[in-house]
Amino acid sequence: MYALFNYSLLFCYMIFGAPTYKSTDKPAFHPLHVSTTDISFNPQDKKLEVICTIFTDDFEAVLAKQYHAKTDLSDTKVHAAMDKLVKDYVDHHVQLKNAATAIKLNYLGFEKVKEVVNVYLESDTATTPKRVDGSINLLYDLYTDQMNIVHITVNGKRKSTKIDYPETQVSQTF
């Protein structure tokens, strides 16, 4: 029976041709709107290291909407211009506190890896956090079903939280 099915499928391909998929300029639709933010305390450098991972098509769309500019995070010719937009956007949408003290996050840059963009940040020198509080609302100005997954690691202990739109606050005690 299985062999008969394979021959029938082969016969259909020979007559009608193999299925083809038309490429479009629009990014592929994905029904899940999610980003991740990994926050890790590096005890050697005494700094918080942050990596925000965002789908490229969503990130380009929110940057275009917010800054009324053409965006292309893949084009190396406009990387410097995109750097400014990415930095400004992340500065306004990711804030952290160590206990009650605001943490200044320094923007290190971004890189596109396949279908996502990683944005890299780090704090100035800080004491080992006993409590990390954050306000994270990446892509909330684009999607009302946006989820932000936040992983916080201090002294090898990792805690994770899912923040659903419109919630923005995350807090973990170590």
What does the pLDDT profile of the chain (174 residues) look like in tens digits? 434 333 343 333 334 444 433 333 444 566 789 999 999 999 999 999 999 999 999 999 999 999 999 999 999 999 999 999 999 999 999 999 998 899 999 999 999 999 999 999 999 998 999 999 999 999 999 999 999 999 999 999 999 999 999 999 999 999
Of residues 154, 166, 146, the one with CA closest to residue 34: 146
pTM of this structure: 0.82
HEC readout, the chain: CHHHHHHHHHHHHHHHCCCCCCCCCCCCCCCCCEEEEEEEEECCCCEEEEEEEEEHHHHHHHHHHHHCCCCCCCCHHHHHHHHHHHHHHHHHHEEEEECCEEECEEEEEEEEECCEEEEEEEECCCCCCCEEEEEECCCCCCCCCCEEEEEEEECCEEEEEEEECCCCEEEEEC
